[in-house]
Amino acid sequence: MSAVAYRVEGDVAVLTVDAPPVNALGLAVRQGLLAGLDRAVVDDAVAAVVLICAGSTFIAGADISEFGTAKALAEPRIRTIQDLLEASSKPVVAAIHGTALGGGLEVALACHARVAVASAKLGLPEVKLGLLPGAGGTVRLPRLVGPEVALDMITSGAPIAATRALELGVIDVIVEDLEAGAIAYAAGLATDGAPLPVMARDERLRDVDPALFADYRLKVGKKARGQIAPFRIVDCVEAACRLPGAEALAFEAAAFAELLASDQRKGLVHYFFAEREARKIPGLPTDLAPQPIRKVAVIGAGLMGGGIAMVFANAGIAVTLVDVGQEALERGLGVIRKTYAASVARGSTPQAKADRALALIHTTTDYAELRDVDLAIEAVFENMGVKQAIFARLDAATPAHAILASNTSGLDIDAIASATLRPERVIGIHFFSPANVMKLMENVRGAQTSPEVIATVMALGRQLGKVPVLAGNCDGFIGNRMLQYYSGEAEFMLIEGATPEQVDRVAESFGMAMGPLAMRDLSALDLNTVVRAARREAFPDERCTLIVERLVEAGRCGQKTSKGYYRYEGRTRLPDPEALAIIEAHSRELGVARRAFSDEEIRDRLFMPLVNEGAKELEEGIALRAGDIDVVWVNGYAFPAHRGGPMFWGEQMGLDKVAAMAERLAAANGERWAPGPLLRRLAETGRGWSAVGEVLAELRGEMQVA
């Protein structure tokens, strides 16, 4: 059966693409489109053509899974189909519902007109995959909407709504009944007989001010954090304004090929699939329906609790915010109101939406009001006794079906669950701060958490617009457990001779939003000293430094005291000789000779320990897949998505190098830094993360024999 059905209604041929899940332009769809168009062109009974899709969406782009395979290069290519569309003397109308994305929108732009339903969205999201629109998007879109709007759309990758697309002229009309509307529109064009527009041949963009592109490059430079694609997009749109259509298309094709071969594209495409894979939990019954969550309680009206309440209210779910006193509730609600007001003022949330969300947040000090909630999330400070007491109260106050969740960032979920009579309905839901902004939702399964609860919370993540990942229960779960090695090495390198600016510069040029030391300054150094003392006690034989303690003793608690690793003028961070003197004095105190560091060494010492600890999480089943760890780090710790995540990056660097680094760091820092059996075996045998299952089985087998 062809992926594209052909039928004729009156004198209009209707080509229906039917290639679930998203009608991507894989080889079969391209072949079907070519066959359908060829047939319509020669069919004397056909005066016009409609291109429409079955299922939930219009063509959502090229088939990403074909990238790098022979199929992607096989004819007919997308451009061949577009040539045919533009050469057709019979009008072709794209009928759009769902999302017309990437190559999908590019095919629609090569049609002679576009009709859409009001709920449709259109966009060129290739930049999110480290690419640019490679099927004429940078040439046709600027001709249709002008270079500024095209640059905004293509460099952001954000889709626009049909109403906006109509205003801009990307679509010609919004209809209610898509197929009937498109057929009528196409028939009208045929009867009208007016010359058909061919965007790629349109030469109207000759007088664009070149300063636009210089400005845009500066703008992109501020946001792009080391990414190549946004700059190449500007180059292409500029070329589209300078060159005749055919030459601009050739320019775009060359730039697309360059990006397709780039590591950044590989990293981002890996990330795309990893995010989707992370939603799938092996072992859960496939027919398990998630429980509906209509009403939730959030315990703790602090910054975290308030942010969580906003997440639910934004998704239209009623929230009861609970705290011990009226004053705490008022304060919490005040912060929530301020956050909404700021977001309305910025233009990112419409007033009506903020009002609707605020109206869904109700406050109380009385647990008796929780008798009809479906989920309660505790978000108080990290103290096991306090959390257990709250869970015991929640167990008594909430209905039997309610899920009880803790937002702990590292405490033992089983110990928390033990305070209840329903440990199977207890789970960790770890939001990252600020919860209303950060995308990651690290869900932590306890030993007894039921499959239904896991399925519900994973589905809830998507409903809330978050990126859910399932973690096992251990100190720090997936993300924070790894973090200590990253910040630990940052500190050791300071003692050995690197400066805070150098360490942070390397991390930031790698693509991290903020270097590890600047990050610590932001989150307050004094708050960190308690955890550090506990860790020194737990691992007395491990290497440690007292840099943070020395800085705090000198009144340097980070941004809040305007000095820490740096000094701050407002929010501007500046190198500070005083901080360096404290660090140098501590090097002397520890008897460590200071030396120069290369950027490469700093990079490897910062990021390779993450990979090593990630491998141990895989070994212990804390993370289900290496990709899950990548998703956690990209969304919870601003690890650059264009590097694919720490595990993908580590594999690109070579797991043998990662293991060798772990050996060296274990000798210097302590046994916890050593590679585990999984990483050792992968490194020795030259295998990658895709072999984790098989290597773990081998290792288990060997243990049994031994």
The answer to whether the CB of 40 falls within 8 A of the CB of 16 is: no
For residue 126, the minimal CB distance to ligand 3H9 (Å) is 5
For residue 263, the minimal CB distance to ligand 3H9 (Å) is 17
126 near ligand 3H9, judged by CB under 6 A: yes
495 near ligand 3H9, judged by CB under 6 A: no
Tokens for 570, please give them: 């407002």
Of positions 17, 33, 63, 111, contacts ligand 3H9 by CB under 6 A = 63
For residue 75, the minimal CB distance to ligand 3H9 (Å) is 13
Backbone region of residue 645 per phi and psi (left: phi > 0; alpha: psi in -120 to 50; beta: other values) = left
3-class SS of residue 348 = coil
Closer residue to ligand 3H9 in complex, CB, 141/615: 141
Q: Is residue 206 packed enough to be buried (19+ CB in 10 Å), middle (13-18) or exposed (0-12)?
A: exposed
Closer residue to ligand 3H9 in complex, CB, 21/285: 21
27 near ligand 3H9, judged by CB under 6 A: no
Tokens for 133, please give them: 């629109």
101 near ligand 3H9, judged by CB under 6 A: yes
Of positions 102, 181, 305, 676, contacts ligand 3H9 by CB under 6 A = 102
CA distance 459 to 279: 8
**Which range, of 133-141, 471-479, 529-537, 692-700, touches ligand 3H9 by CB under 6 A?**
133-141
The answer to whether the CB of 351 falls within 8 A of the CB of 344 is: yes
Of positions 37, 47, 78, 108, contacts ligand 3H9 by CB under 6 A = 78
156 near ligand 3H9, judged by CB under 6 A: no
For residue 53, the minimal CB distance to ligand 3H9 (Å) is 11
For residue 702, the minimal CB distance to ligand 3H9 (Å) is 34
Helix and strand numbers (H, E) in the chain are: 30, 19
Closer residue to ligand 3H9 in complex, CB, 126/323: 126
3-class SS of residue 386 = helix
Segment holding 55, helix H or strand E = none
For residue 287, the minimal CB distance to ligand 3H9 (Å) is 17
CA distance 439 to 635: 6
76 near ligand 3H9, judged by CB under 6 A: no
Q: Is residue 530 packed enough to be buried (19+ CB in 10 Å), middle (13-18) or exposed (0-12)?
A: exposed
Residue in the block written with tokens 């966009």? 123
Segment holding 370, helix H or strand E = none
Residues 106, 491, 496, 549: which is the catalytic one?
106
3-class SS of residue 315 = coil
Closer residue to ligand 3H9 in complex, CB, 73/214: 73
Of positions 32, 76, 134, 181, contacts ligand 3H9 by CB under 6 A = 134
Q: Is residue 421 packed enough to be buried (19+ CB in 10 Å), middle (13-18) or exposed (0-12)?
A: exposed
Q: What is the 3-state secondary structure (H, E, C) of 608-674?
A: HHHHHHHHHHHHHCCECCHHHHHHHHHHHCCCCHHHCCHHHHHHHHCHHHHHHHHHHHHHHHCHHHC
Of positions 32, 61, 511, 558, contacts ligand 3H9 by CB under 6 A = 61
How many other CB atoms are there within 10 angstroms of residue 369's CB atom?
15
Q: Residue 584 catalytic?
A: no
For residue 5, the minimal CB distance to ligand 3H9 (Å) is 20
Residues 75, 86, 126, 584: which is the catalytic one?
126
Closer residue to ligand 3H9 in complex, CB, 77/680: 77
For residue 40, the minimal CB distance to ligand 3H9 (Å) is 23
- Number of chain residues interacting with ligand 3H9 (CB under 6 A): 26
129 near ligand 3H9, judged by CB under 6 A: yes
CA distance 302 to 379: 8
- Looking at the DSSP assignment, which residues form a beta bridge with residue 471? 444, 623
Q: Residue 537 catalytic?
A: no
Of positions 27, 50, 51, 60, contacts ligand 3H9 by CB under 6 A = 60
200 near ligand 3H9, judged by CB under 6 A: no
Of positions 106, 238, 496, 628, contacts ligand 3H9 by CB under 6 A = 106
CA distance 536 to 529: 10
Strand order in the sheet with 121-123: 99-101, 121-123, 160-161
Closer residue to ligand 3H9 in complex, CB, 214/257: 257
The answer to whether the CB of 503 falls within 8 A of the CB of 493 is: yes
**Which range, of 59-67, 162-170, 325-333, 364-372, touches ligand 3H9 by CB under 6 A?**
59-67
For residue 632, the minimal CB distance to ligand 3H9 (Å) is 18
Site for ligand 3H9 in 245-284 (CB under 6 A): 273, 276
Tokens for 337, please give them: 């109101």
For residue 109, the minimal CB distance to ligand 3H9 (Å) is 11
Nearest to residue 237, comparing CAs of 125, 152, 113, 122? 152
Nearest to residue 469, comparing CAs of 260, 295, 293, 629? 629
For residue 37, the minimal CB distance to ligand 3H9 (Å) is 18
DSSP labels, 264-282: HHHHHHHHHHHHHHTT--T
Q: Which residues contact 628 (CB under 8 A, 6 or more apart)?
A: 274, 277, 278, 469, 470, 471, 478
68 near ligand 3H9, judged by CB under 6 A: no
204 near ligand 3H9, judged by CB under 6 A: no
Of positions 13, 19, 22, 641, contacts ligand 3H9 by CB under 6 A = 22
CA distance 151 to 208: 13
Closer residue to ligand 3H9 in complex, CB, 19/457: 19
For residue 135, the minimal CB distance to ligand 3H9 (Å) is 4
**Which range, of 2-10, 126-134, 168-176, 231-239, touches ligand 3H9 by CB under 6 A?**
126-134
107 near ligand 3H9, judged by CB under 6 A: no
Closer residue to ligand 3H9 in complex, CB, 134/646: 134
125 near ligand 3H9, judged by CB under 6 A: yes
Total residues belonging to the chain: 706
Closer residue to ligand 3H9 in complex, CB, 99/398: 99
Chain residues binding ligand 3H9 by CB under 6 A are 21-22, 24, 57, 60-65, 78, 99, 101-103, 106, 125-126, 129, 131, 133-135, 137, 273, 276
Q: Which residues are catalytic?
A: 106, 126
